[in-house]
Structure formats: structure tokens, C-alpha cells
Amino acid sequence: MTLSLLHVQPATGTVAALTATGGVAVGGYVHHAWRGIGACATQGLATNPWYPDTLRAALSQSDSAGQALAQAVSADPGASRRQCLVMDRQGRAAVHSGADNLPVIAARCRPTVAAAGNMLADAEVIEALLRHFLEQACVNAEAAWREVESPRYRADYEALLPEMLVAALEAALAVGGDGRGTRSAALRVESFSAAPIDLRVDWAEHPAVELRALLERVREPTFADFLASLPLR
């Protein structure tokens, strides 16, 4: 029903999340990003809106993504209906895909970036999502994709993270996206060096197009100057 990508940069504490689904208002329910701590996407046949509280508390105590996820899943009697992707501050990822989720289900995890989805048009959707992000952000994209090396990021990539997330979503939708069609999309970038960017398209025929248009408005000088004036802590 949903596809998501998480990225954590351990060197700076920047965290990013991208999500899209065939339903309404995905940004309000699925992904959560906490600078310097980590991120999660709670999705599946039915999302669990209480996972983020458990996950953030565990990640804040320096638990690994796997430890945090195990804690959330073990306390959930409906875990078979969940898919949850978690990344900790060191960029380690963990994923749970319950047995009751509808195919196609897929997940791809690399150090510092991971993607997962369910009820997909094809498993290639998640591959396209992750691979396109690597191609934009990394100097060793092919080696990172093949898991020969950990991703090594371009020096200036964080400045264009929102654009990279939108482009990765466009690549994923080009090979199918959500099996029902994709109707809502959202992204969030949390950083210690800039104000958060939190964009949501809650219902649209072409949500990636709308998300890009919204980002272009955010980048316009008037609003960009406003964001730059905000306190960082």
C-alpha cells in the first residue's frame, strides 16, 4: 500500500524521509524523521501510529535500529499487519514485514539509506527508488548498489536532498509505484544546519508532480529567505 525511503547521514545528523501511497494523507501517518536520532516509516496493511513513540525513545537511548524495531514489534499484537522500516543515527537499517501484508512486498537496505514497500506494482519499484537516490547523491553509486562499498556522498548533496527525494519518487512511480495507483506523497528533511522541510501532497492524480511544484515554491527566494531566518535549535 505504501513505499518509503529513509536516509541518515551520521556525520552531520541530517535525516530524510520520503513516502507515497495509494491512499490519502500519507505524510501525516507513515514517516517520521528526527535529526541526530534516526527515522522510521510505519506502513503495511494497517499502520501503527504508536510505533514512532517507541522507536524514537529507543533510538534516543542509542539502541540500534534492530533493537528499537524488535521492541515495537514485540509489543504489537497486530504486527503481522505491519511493515516498518527503521534507521538509527549510525545509518543502520532494520525492516519488519508482517506475514499478512499484501504482495508485492520488497525492501532494500544499504548503510545510511533504505527503502521498503508493500502492495507494490512490482518489486522493481523499490529497486528504482533506492537506486535513483544513490545515483544522485553518491560518488560510488554502482558500488553502493551492488553492496561492494558503503555509500559515499557528494560533498554538497545535502543542499539538494529534497530535490533528490522527489526525483527518486518519480523514478519509482515510472516503474509502477503503488499497485492501486499513487495518490499522496510526502517528504521531510531534518538537519542541524537548516530549518526542517516538511512537504505533503494529501490527494492528487499525480502526487510526484504536485510535490515537485510545492518544493519549487519553497525554493522561491521569499520563502527560502524566511526559512533561513528561523532558529536552528
Q: What is the pLDDT of residues 94-149, one digit of tens each?
A: 999 999 999 999 999 999 999 999 999 899 999 999 999 999 999 999 999 999 99
If phi over 0 gives left and psi between -120 and 50 gives alpha, with beta otherwise, what is residue 38? left
HSE, side-chain direction, 13 A CA sphere, residue 98: 23
127: exposed, middle or buried (Cβ count in 10 Å: 0-12, 13-18, 19+): middle
Cα gap 31→48, rounded to integer Å: 11
pLDDT of residue 50: 96
Q: Is 168 inside any structural domain?
A: yes
* DSSP category for residue 92: -
Cα gap 226→232, rounded to integer Å: 13
Range of the domain at 118: 2-228
Q: Is 16 inside any structural domain?
A: yes
pLDDT of residue 179: 74
Q: Is the model's pLDDT at 176 over the cut of 90?
A: no
CATH number of the domain that residue 60 is part of:
3.60.20.10
Buried/exposed 186-218: b ≥16 CB within 10 Å, e otherwise: bbbbbbeebbebebbbbeeeebbebbbebbeee
- For residue 14, what is its C-alpha cell? 541530517
Q: Is the model's pLDDT at 1 over the cut of 80?
A: no
Q: What is the pTM of this model?
A: 0.97
Cis peptide before 95 (omega within 30 of 0): no
Q: Is 6 inside any structural domain?
A: yes
Q: What amino acid is encoded at 100 in this protein?
A: D
Q: Is 233 inside any structural domain?
A: no
218's CB contacts (< 8 A; 6+ apart) are: 162, 197, 199, 224, 227
Provide the number of structural domains found in the chain: 1
Q: Cβ of 178: how many Cβ atoms within 10 Å?
A: 24
Q: Is the model's pLDDT at 181 over the cut of 90?
A: no
- For residue 190, what is its C-alpha cell? 531534518
pLDDT of residue 228: 95
- For residue 197, what is its C-alpha cell? 522541510
**Concatenated DSSP letters for 176-208?**
T-BTT---EEEEEEE-SSS--EEEEE-S-SSHH
The answer to which of 76-80, 175-179, 194-198 has the lowest mean pLDDT is 175-179
pLDDT of residue 233: 78
